[in-house]
Amino acid sequence: IATDHCPFTEKEKLENVADFRNCPGGVSGVEERMPLLFSEGVLKGRISLERFVQATSTNAAKIFGLYPKKGTLMPGSDADVILINPAKTHTFGRDTLHTTCGYSPYDGMTTDCAIDLVMLRGQIIARDNTFTGQKGYGTLLHRKRTIAYEDIVRV
């Protein structure tokens, strides 16, 4: 599960439109990724809840050499937690997204869930689509050597 999150503004995208090879690629999408996958995957029966956790957390942490510091809820882990509410809906739009580019390819799309809460290292940093954390609270995590994909996921 990935995103080509590269939020250039419309003006930045259009500056080099005469030669498409010079146009900056990518779109915003990191904020939309989790509710989209949960709504379209888990809630529609396309993937299990366990697979959702593997794809969005555990396997990503392993691929990037951060497991078990990240990607699991175990003593000593630095877990980030989101609380997804399947009883709510959420519509993506300029007034509900936090991207600096001002647009989203998912503008107007409604998911069958909403993220109620985000926790970082045990601290609530977002609630009901509003950032409540402190700027600068993030920390640099040093990675271990990445292991082969085949050793992470057994298909």
Q: What is the pLDDT of residues 100-123, one digit of tens each?
A: 787 888 899 999 999 999 999 889
pLDDT digits (tens, 9 = 90+) for 48-63: 999 999 999 999 898 8
DSSP letter assigned to residue 92:
-
- Domain limits, the chain: 10-152
Is pTM beyond 0.75? Reply is yes
Q: Which fold has domain 10-152?
A: TIM Barrel (3.20.20)
Q: What pLDDT band is residue 155 in, cutting at 50, 70 and 90?
A: very low
Q: Which two tokens stand for residue 97?
A: 């997204």
The string of DSSP letters for 27-65 reads: B--HHHHHHHHIIIIITTTSS-HHHHHIIIIIHHHHHTT
Closest CA to 103 of 2, 14, 1: 14
